[in-house]
Amino acid sequence: MKFSLIIVTILFLGNSIRSQWEHVSGGLNTQVLSVVTSENILYAAGSGVYKSTNLGLNWTRSSLNNNNIRGLAANSNFVFAGTYSNNGIYRSTNYGLNWTQTSLSYYSTVDIIAFDNYVFVGTNDHGIYKSGDNGLTWAQTTFTSPSVYAFAYNGNKIFAGTNGLGVYFSTDFGAVWTQSTLNTDFIYSLDHKGNNIYAGIWPYGGVRISTNNGSAWTQTGLNYQSVHTIVVNNNNVFAGTGYPYSNGVYVSNNNGANWIQRNEGLGSLYIHSLCILGNYIFAGTDDGGVYRRPLSDLNSITSVSTEIPKTFSLSQNYPNPFNPQTKIKFDVPANVKRETSNVKLIIYDLLGREVTTLVNEELKPGTYEADWDGSNYSSGVYFYKLIVDDPSTGSGREFVETKKMVLMK
């Protein structure tokens, strides 16, 4: 009876393997320069445009298949593809099924953004073009140079990242452009959350942040990296790196203050594009197509108290049992040896296999709370362990505690 129970448990937890990136490039094993989403559809650009309607598991190549596509944007049924071979912009009005070349049929395109009825195109050496009717007609804006590599749209502000002149912005839908105080860098990527604007700097500037909608900028904890793409989800910021420093994906769970690499399972560390759809983050890579990973594997950690605890402690998760989300609270006291503590919070299954790492970073004294979403995991018993490393001790560990929790679907 006991032996049978063990067998059943192993079978029941068969899907609970160590979390990592999953290669989801059925029909798409090529360089992917851009991945975007609209209405639960994924679009990927490279040698043409590809489309997936099942979260990246399978891809079909569209009829736009004879151009090198770099810029890509989707807005409802409209999809816009920009060529990197001076053929301008192509447009689809039926979710990428059919394509026509627009009147903007020249220039090399680097990036595109589409919202409402507007489409903005960043060109190579010819500034920004704009359409107010979903790509039917185009006009060059007053921003005529240099190259524009990235866009972000936040409320009434449009941000443009340039080659060597930093970030510009417009508050009147592109009629007038103003240079921000970030004015000397090559901005390869932009994204925002609320008043926080994030800029990826090429080739070794890492990520800069503005907390006041672009008025002032500071360096985040990610420096000396070539950031090709940024995507923001709640307090989580994801940065994909590429040439000349291809180091995969970095994740910050505290708005850019601290970063960790999360490359488990990635076959290519040259990341061209990141996007989020549903419970997954997707990465377009240089030579391995598209990878995806559950967002729950990269969950956020938040500071919940300004009081400094006296000792390390790990609380029981709540709720428990849970379905599918739970919270884990822990305390980090003041450390007389250094300002921060090296803290890890790891989830294991019943067989002791590592499922995911919720926290792996240097934390200042305080009380923290980490979220775990078990949507992509089987019901059953799991364990969570708080580990605090201290290299000065013989064991290398300052504090370790483990508790049990139950996922019940």
Tens of pLDDT, residues 59-105: 999 999 988 999 999 999 999 999 988 899 999 999 999 999 999 99
In a domain, 9, yes or no: no
* pLDDT of the residue at 345: 92
Residue 345 CB partners (closer than 8 Å, separation 6+)? 301, 328, 330, 357, 358, 359, 360, 370, 384, 385, 386, 387
Both tokens assigned to 338: 């250094």
pTM: 0.76
| Co-location of 131 and 274 in the same domain | yes
CATH number of the domain where residue 372 is located = 2.60.40.1930
State what percent of residues in the chain have pLDDT above 90: 69
- pLDDT category of residue 357 using cuts at 50, 70 and 90: confident
Q: Are residues 197 and 337 in the same domain?
A: no
Query: Quick one: pLDDT band at residue 300, thresholds 50, 70, 90?
Result: low
Element (H, E) at 226: none
Q: Per the structure block, which two tokens stand in for 374?
A: 């078990």
**Average per-residue pLDDT in the chain?**
89
Q: 108 and 212: one domain?
A: yes
What CA–CA distance (Å, rounded) separates 149 from 121?
9
Residues 241 and 276 in one domain: yes
Tell me, what's the pLDDT at 283?
Answer: 98
**Range in 2-6, 245-249, 259-263, 283-287 the model is least confident about:** 2-6
In the chain, what percentage of residues exceed pLDDT 70? 92
Residue 114 located in a structural domain: yes
Assess whether 180 and 321 both reside in one domain: no
Span 214-270, pLDDT tens digits: 999 999 989 999 999 999 987 789 999 999 989 999 998 778 888 888 898 999 999
Tokens of residue 236, six digits: 């989580």
265 and 344 part of one domain: no
More confident residue, 256 or 362: 256
- In terms of domains, do 248 and 394 share one? no
